[in-house]
Structure 1
Amino acid sequence: MKPSKYNFIFEYEKNILIYNALSGGFAIIEPEVKKALSSEKDLEEFINKEKNKKIYKELKKGKFIVDFDELKYINFIYNSLKFEKKGLGLTIAPTMNCNFACEYCYELRKKVFMDKEVKNSIVDFVKQNINEINYLSVSWYGGEPLLDLKTIKELSKEFIKLCQSNNIKYTASIVTNGYLLNSKVAKELKNLEIKTVQITIDGPKKIHDKRRPLINGKGSFETIINNIKGAKEYFEHISIRINIDKTNEGKIIELLKYLKNEGLTEENCSPYLAFVDVSTEVCRDIEINCIDIKNRSEYMIERVKEAYEEGINIIKYPTPMYSQCGAVKPNSFVIDPEGYMYKCWHEVGIKALAIGNIKGNEKNKNFDRYLKWNTFNPLNYKECKNCKFLPLCMGGCPDKTLFKYNGIQEEGCTMYKYNLEEMLKMHLKAKLKKGFLPIPVK
């Protein structure tokens, strides 16, 4: 038995806390336990004392101590989740057209809508796989997917019918700018079993309307806010994504306070902070406004604390992410309006990066690229293999590692590398306020 290499021990308000990245376990410990976890010799002496048997069991349960090769364990869990064939994941962009002209977005706004041949090919593709899966997961994307609500309706009905007749679980979500998501549309989406929604708001009205205007230049903020209010009763959860860069970083708390006053930070609505990033070569000119990883980490700590003081909890508990990104799973695909298939939604619309086309026999046209995605494993990189934060990051964004950086770069690492202790302290503070405690190991 040995102490886990993924233990993080720190002090907070006279308590000794321990967090384990392998399990996500979080506990209060006594000084004697801290000493026991400092070496295998100290641990052995601690375990051999009869009075410590109960504590030993708790430490083992939380993987604070282990009797196995942790890297092999991570590799096993990662591959088990990656290569399981029980599910089929489809991200479908019915159109790349958009009604917005976001200043940081360079997605190709082609006024192409999915034709009958592509729709039929998608349905046929699901039929071909239906006997091999237990669940079908669909995410609607774009462009702005609600510009082609007709396709969403047609395909959703086909998917639901197929899943019901084959006893397959069906889940669906949508990423939308929210402008067309009025109560009538929300009700229709609910009837199509779309349960979760992601909508972006980039700041208070003045800033949002500058960053995310309609194509005609008019603002979109008020319509989106009103739509969320009217739509939230129809969905299990609405995530409000706030894109951050150097041009709006100072206005995020103002936005969060506004959302709270409008009742959009509780129940089934929750805002979360994201950072504008350079995902493709066509958007290199926005890089000057992007915030680097170290400053992102500091920014998150500051905003989390400020938001907490305003009664808004945007703290995300650091949990192991073994399943990683759908792009590296063999049974996960992104499909554009013309039927081109991709592994990552950053690539949608860039035909040279497609792995094939859903129509006919063109599904594995770019097999080498398909293999690069599906053989990605963070343990192939020594930087990840030797990193204490591996279970929280798993190599970061595969697109960056495989194609943007051609290897591991600091900018692709998790922010927890720089702010884990502070984020855990804030999480604990919020839990203590609600009367919850981390598991005591004493």
Structure 2
Amino acid sequence: MNLSRYILKYSTDDGTLYFNTKTNHSFFLTNELNRVVDSNDVIRKEFHAYLDKNKYLSEGEYEVEKYLSKISDTDAELLELTILTHGDCNFRCKYCYEKFENIAMSTETEDAIVQFLKEKLQSGKYKYLSVGWFGGEPLLGYKTIKRLSPVFIDLCEKYQIHYQSAITTNGYLLTKNKFRYLNEKFKVTSYQITLDGDEESHNNQRVLQNGGLSYNRIFDNLKAMQESKFDFICVIRFNVSKDNYQNVKEFLTHDGIYFKDDSRFKISYHTIGNWGKGDRDINYCVTLLDKDASFELSKLAVTSGYHISSPEVVVNNNYTCYSNRKNHFMFNVRGIVQSCTVALYEPQNIFGNINKGFVNYSKLNDWVIRLDASCKECQFVLICKSGYCPMAKRITKTNSRYLCKSVKEKIRKNLALFALSKSYNDILDVD
């Protein structure tokens, strides 16, 4: 049985997870069936046929080139826009990297974005348009979302493009009516909202601009979402520091129970790092953990019966940062064209001004990471593609070996979570 080198395996006490990075197909082979496969010729042939049908076997010398080409072709069909609707935020979080100014997006910039989109969609290159609303706090710029969304939707209908929309919001302004409008009228079906643990720890880390408390209102808005009948996905994100680590764990046994059995809600953990100081005073900060806690917390969430977001995203050959896509464009509130939503103030991350109708495509192409030929023999290459974070390579100049090691570790950990959460397509067991 000549298994492809691009198949990932993860063993558990009950069997082995197989993940095909060529196709994103997966199955779990129980120990009992594995023993039968080893001893029974008929079952072995059936198992071999299953592997062959689902592309688990080696496909020859140019196997990786074939699937890299498929991934590239699929990626080329997606046009992705991230729009920073407002320059300010109603929060002043203790780990925020942004610098704020009280400015909304002008109609001139909105019109320029629409013109840019028209030209892109008229080309006939794209099948999908994905729009992400970002900030600052994007709901401070709700008028921009309200004005642009119907135009985007109409353009997609005209050119037969599949439209999808997401928002990253602190949730404080996400009232019941606003959520209904976003979902029903503006087709915003993906939400990321941050709760940094319980009421005490959240209010300590995520402080309102006026110094007030935010947890209860956000939690009430999340409950209103849960009580609705709408189709959506909401990722509840936890930014974890030494200050709130224990509180984040306790959320699972207290307030989190409200969302536990609703598959629309998924948990996501992110260990706070040195993301940048932004406008913060140097002493207005959190205490960083000594090591990453996201894997440990994710395991705890899964074993506690929660849905988590990371395995289905990371263990997937479509996985890459949006900033590493040639067809991703970010527009800030002044119309500056960028790519990365973290390196907001770096000259390397500026590619033009949409108000002037200018995008420096040559510079943008140089920003995106190219596949290193030496990576083609690596079993992770179809997921990693020589690294998924342009900022790490282009700006912080992180050592390539360190990046490679960290990406592999991330994939392995998420493969373990994939197995633990039973996210695989098939279970192969004895009858």
Q: TM class, shorter-chain normalised?
A: 0.7 to 0.9
| CA deviation map 1:260-288 (0-9, x unaligned) | 33336624222222232445586997999
Give the match for residue 180 of structure 1.
Answer: 173
| CA deviation map 1:190-224 (0-9, x unaligned) | 22221221111111111111110101111110010
Q: Is the 8 A contact 1:277 1:287 kept in 2?
A: no
Give the match for residue 369 of structure 1.
Answer: 363
Give the match for residue 312 of structure 1.
Answer: 306
Cα deviation, residue 90, structure 1: 0.9
SS at match of 2:342: helix
| CA deviation map 1:132-171 (0-9, x unaligned) | 2333221110000111111111111222232333433322
SS at match of 1:223: helix
Residue 4 (str. 1) matches residue 8 (str. 2):
no
Give the match for residue 343 of structure 2.
Answer: 347
Give the match for residue 84 of structure 2.
Answer: 93
| CA deviation map 1:316-345 (0-9, x unaligned) | 356322352332333210000100001222
Q: Paired residue for 1:189, among 176, 179, 182?
A: 182
Judge which range, 102-111 or 62-71, deviates more.
62-71
Letter of the structure 1 residue corresponding to residue 253 of structure 2: K
Asked which structure has the greater RCO (Cα within 8 Å, sep 6+), the reply is 2
Give the match for residue 423 of structure 1.
Answer: 417
Letter of the structure 1 residue corresponding to residue 366 of structure 2: K
Letter of the structure 1 residue corresponding to residue 221 of structure 2: N
Q: Is the 8 A contact 2:15 2:28 kept in 1?
A: no
Q: Is the 8 A contact 1:17 1:26 kept in 2?
A: yes
Cα deviation, residue 236, structure 1: 1.5
Distance in 2, Cα, partners of 1:212 & 1:173: 22
Judge which range, 318-327 or 413-422, deviates more.
413-422
| CA deviation map 1:14-46 (0-9, x unaligned) | 6455444444422315247579xxxxxxxxxx9
Letter of the structure 1 residue corresponding to residue 427 of structure 2: P
| CA deviation map 1:385-413 (0-9, x unaligned) | 44333334332323213332355243541
Q: For the structure 1 residues 344 and 249, does the alpha-carbon distance in structure 2 shift closer, same or farther, using more than 3 Å as the test?
A: same
Q: Is the 8 A contact 2:299 2:417 kept in 1?
A: no
| CA deviation map 1:219-252 (0-9, x unaligned) | 1100100011123425522211111233322322
Q: Is the 8 A contact 2:323 2:389 kept in 1?
A: no
SS at match of 2:259: coil
| CA deviation map 1:410-441 (0-9, x unaligned) | 3541444553664355234x98xxxx962349
Equivalent residues in 2 for 1:196-207, closer than 5 Å: 196-207=190-201
Residue 27 (str. 1) matches residue 28 (str. 2):
yes
Q: For the structure 1 residues 62 and 27, does the alpha-carbon distance in structure 2 shift closer, same or farther, using more than 3 Å as the test?
A: farther
Letter of the structure 2 residue corresponding to residue 399 of structure 1: M
Distance in 1, Cα, partners of 2:271 & 2:104: 29
Q: Is the 8 A contact 2:128 2:161 kept in 1?
A: yes
SS at match of 1:372: helix
Q: For the structure 1 residues 51 and 150, does the alpha-carbon distance in structure 2 shift closer, same or farther, using more than 3 Å as the test?
A: closer
Cα deviation, residue 78, structure 1: 3.2
Letter of the structure 2 residue corresponding to residue 438 of structure 1: I
Aligned pair count reads 414
Q: Is the 8 A contact 2:315 2:383 kept in 1?
A: yes
Residue 263 (str. 1) matches residue 259 (str. 2):
yes
Q: Is the 8 A contact 1:301 1:422 kept in 2?
A: no
Residue 360 (str. 1) matches residue 360 (str. 2):
no
Q: For the structure 1 residues 396 and 361, does the alpha-carbon distance in structure 2 shift closer, same or farther, using more than 3 Å as the test?
A: closer
SS at match of 2:102: coil
Letter of the structure 1 residue corresponding to residue 200 of structure 2: K
Letter of the structure 1 residue corresponding to residue 380 of structure 2: F
Q: For the structure 1 residues 14 and 402, does the alpha-carbon distance in structure 2 shift closer, same or farther, using more than 3 Å as the test?
A: same
Give the match for residue 46 of structure 2.
Answer: 54
Cα deviation, residue 356, structure 1: 0.2
Distance in 2, Cα, partners of 1:211 & 1:243: 9
Distance in 2, Cα, partners of 1:208 & 1:276: 14
Judge which range, 111-120 or 346-355, deviates more.
346-355
Equivalent residues in 2 for 1:73-112, closer than 5 Å: 73-82=66-75, 84=76, 86-112=77-103
Distance in 2, Cα, partners of 1:74 & 1:143: 38
Give the match for residue 146 of structure 1.
Answer: 139
Q: Is the 8 A contact 2:241 2:286 kept in 1?
A: no
Aligned sequence identity (%): 26
Residue 220 (str. 1) matches residue 214 (str. 2):
yes
Equivalent residues in 2 for 1:269-348, closer than 5 Å: 269-279=265-275, 289-290=287-288, 295-296=291-292, 299-314=293-308, 316-317=311-312, 319-322=315-318, 324-348=320-344
CA RMSD, aligned part only? 3.3
Give the match for residue 120 of structure 1.
Answer: 111
Equivalent residues in 2 for 1:387-398, closer than 5 Å: 387-394=378-385, 395-398=387-390
Residue 438 (str. 1) matches residue 427 (str. 2):
yes
Distance in 2, Cα, partners of 1:59 & 1:328: 32
Q: Is the 8 A contact 1:304 1:313 kept in 2?
A: no
Letter of the structure 2 residue corresponding to residue 247 of structure 1: D
SS at match of 1:321: coil
**5+ long unaligned stretches in structure 2:** none
Distance in 1, Cα, partners of 2:357 & 2:72: 28
Letter of the structure 2 residue corresponding to residue 439 of structure 1: L
SS at match of 1:345: coil
Cα deviation, residue 122, structure 1: 0.9
**5+ long unaligned stretches in structure 1:** 36-45
Give the match for residue 248 of structure 1.
Answer: 244
